[in-house]
Chain A
Amino acid sequence: MYHFNFAPVLASWPDLLAGIETTLVLSASAMAIGLAVSIVLAAAKTSGFWALRFVVDAYVELIRNTPFLVQIFFIYFGLPSLGLRLTPTSAALLALVVNFSAYATEIIRAGIESIHHGQIEAGRALGLSGVQVFLYIVLKPALRNVYPAMTSQFIYLMLTSSVVSAISAGDLAAAGNDIQSRTFASFEVYIVVTLIYLVMSSAFSAIFSAIERAVFNYPVSR
């Protein structure tokens, strides 16, 4: 029978707290930046210019068909030879944004394509500018339509961020590994870390539901 001893793990709470902070800041920043990037890319892809569409397609295919670990190694270990040297945390943020945006671009593109062309024409007929049409008639309903898929992609982004410990970024997974190597209480460490990830995912889910109620709570006719 295995004897659990959580004392050494809980005694390392400052390390865990620092790890939680890094994971939360990294994930939240990557979500915000990634959302902005993927809206621009989705707009570019649906703009009708074949060159833009080709570039975005190439990016999406490249990222979606390669492992995240390889992408993060490329950014952290490979880019310095091209003159771009990033700290582990910046490299982790860049890798998360690049990875997340590829998936989110396709989700938002699907949302944009779900908007009936008649609505856009109606907007133009009412005298709205092109920007106004895109923001209020295309983008907002599009995001509303794909919101559930986006939230699961956001949660997935936060869970994926556990990989960044491979380039020595000090996230929650790295903190867990450090504590584990000091205390040898690996089972206990991973139980605690798993629970923390679970709590963070649930918290993010709750926040996303609140955002949905606040932003997308209006009646639509189908």
Chain B
Amino acid sequence: MKSVARRLALIMGLGLILGIAAQPTQAQSLAELKARGSLKVGMLVDFPPFGIINTDNKPDGYDADVARALADNLGLKLDLVAVTGPNRIPYLLSGQIDVLVASLGITPERAEKVTFSKPYAGIRTAVIGTAGTDFSTPDKLIGKRVGLARASTQDIAFTKVAKEGTLIQRFDDDASAVQALLSGQVDAIGCSNVVVDQILKVAPGRFEEKFPLSQQVQGIAVRPGSTEFLGAVDKFLVELKTSGKLNDISKKWLGAPAAEFVLKTN
């Protein structure tokens, strides 16, 4: 009896997997959403400050605020669904959610699976150094001391472009690298745009950005072929950027206004 039940469960499970796999990825239409009255948005809850669980045990963060604004804009009730890094694209493609606002970095590989909106968030890393010095290229940093947070995005990006003879000093975190720059123990550091803004705030005029290292933008993702829906999302993003609302969200969660490369609307 037991083995029959197990076999049945197995067959059902297999069927479920095959069913999901075989299910054609259907485009999302706006009319369908309006009829349902709600928008199911997938977001990460383990990626602060973009996606977190707040003290009320509800999903919150930069992504949640953008999702809330999107649902408001479309006149729909927001239904946040917690997804994880590995399962967020399967969630979208299998139709369990309508749209992903899940800090999904726009990459060519992902763009083959899902359709991306214009960027709604982004992280950029750059080299920042003492104002007035010519550190415009990696060549100019030969013999100079460059501080980096060990194993960070900027560490990987800078190590790749650094020329032989550059004195790379790796610290345990961003805070130590910034401290080394402020106290003059290094000539330049690599850091993200959020940290750059903080440095320019605490030490106005002493430092300036020298050259960019890496840039990644995050987009809202919809199922392929959802042209009309994507158009509505992109229209919403233009409004979000021009109204200054995205700036407010960025200030609230990242402590700095949205970077220019995120805000541009073309």
With A81-B183, A88-B185, A168-B169 already in contact, 20 other A-B pairs whose C-beta atoms are closer than 8 Å:
A77-B179, A78-B183, A80-B184, A80-B185, A88-B169, A166-B172, A167-B171, A167-B180, A167-B185, A168-B147, A168-B170, A168-B171, A168-B176, A168-B180, A177-B150, A177-B170, A178-B150, A178-B170, A181-B150, A181-B155
Contact of A77 among B151, B172, B183 (CB under 8 A): B183
Which 10 pairs, one residue from A and one from B, show the smallest C-beta to C-beta distance? A181-B151, A168-B169, A80-B183, A77-B183, A77-B179, A80-B184, A168-B171, A181-B150, A168-B170, A166-B172
- In the complex, the chain A residue whose C-beta lies closest to that of B186 is A168
- In the complex, the chain B residue whose C-beta lies closest to that of A184 is B151
| Chain A 40-86 residues near chain B, CB threshold 8 A | 73, 76-78, 80-81, 85
| Chain A 75-121 residues near chain B, CB threshold 8 A | 76-78, 80-81, 85, 88
Q: Decide yes or no whether A162 CB sits under 8 A from chain B.
A: no
- In the complex, the chain B residue whose C-beta lies closest to that of A169 is B169
Provide the bound-state CA to CA distance between A88 and B147, in Å. 12
Chain B residues engaging chain A, CB cutoff 8 angstroms: 147, 150-151, 155, 169-172, 176, 179-180, 183-185
Q: Decide yes or no whether A20 CB sits under 8 A from chain B.
A: no
Chain A residues engaging chain B, CB cutoff 8 angstroms: 73, 76-78, 80-81, 85, 88, 165-168, 174, 177-178, 181-182
Contact of B170 among A76, A77, A85, A174 (CB under 8 A): A174
| Chief secondary structure at chain B's binding surface | mixed
B184 touches A85 (CB 8 A): yes
Report B-chain residues with C-beta under 8 Å of the C-beta of A85.
184-185
Provide the bound-state CA to CA distance between A63 and B25, in Å. 67
Count contacts between A and B, CB distance < 8 Å. Answer: 41
Provide the bound-state CA to CA distance between A88 and B179, in Å. 13
Report B-chain residues with C-beta under 8 Å of the C-beta of A165.
172
Report A-chain residues with C-beta under 8 Å of the C-beta of B155.
181
Report A-chain residues with C-beta under 8 Å of the C-beta of B172.
165-166, 177
Provide the bound-state CA to CA distance between A182 and B183, in Å. 28
Report B-chain residues with C-beta under 8 Å of the C-beta of A88.
169, 185
Known interface pairs A77-B179, A77-B180, A178-B150; A166-B171 also in contact (CB < 8 Å): yes
Provide the bound-state CA to CA distance between A172 and B184, in Å. 25
Report B-chain residues with C-beta under 8 Å of the C-beta of A78.
183
Closest Cβ of chain A: how far from B199's Cβ, in Å?
A: 15
Report B-chain residues with C-beta under 8 Å of the C-beta of A182.
151
Closest Cβ of chain B: how far from A86's Cβ, in Å?
A: 8
- In the complex, the chain B residue whose C-beta lies closest to that of A81 is B183
Provide the bound-state CA to CA distance between A177 and B155, in Å. 13
Provide the bound-state CA to CA distance between A177 and B176, in Å. 15
What would 29 A/B residue contacts be, using CB atoms closer than 8 Å? A73-B179, A76-B180, A76-B183, A77-B179, A77-B180, A77-B185, A78-B183, A80-B183, A80-B184, A81-B183, A85-B184, A85-B185, A88-B169, A88-B185, A165-B172, A166-B171, A166-B172, A166-B176, A167-B171, A167-B176, A167-B180, A167-B185, A168-B169, A168-B180, A177-B150, A177-B170, A177-B172, A181-B150, A181-B151
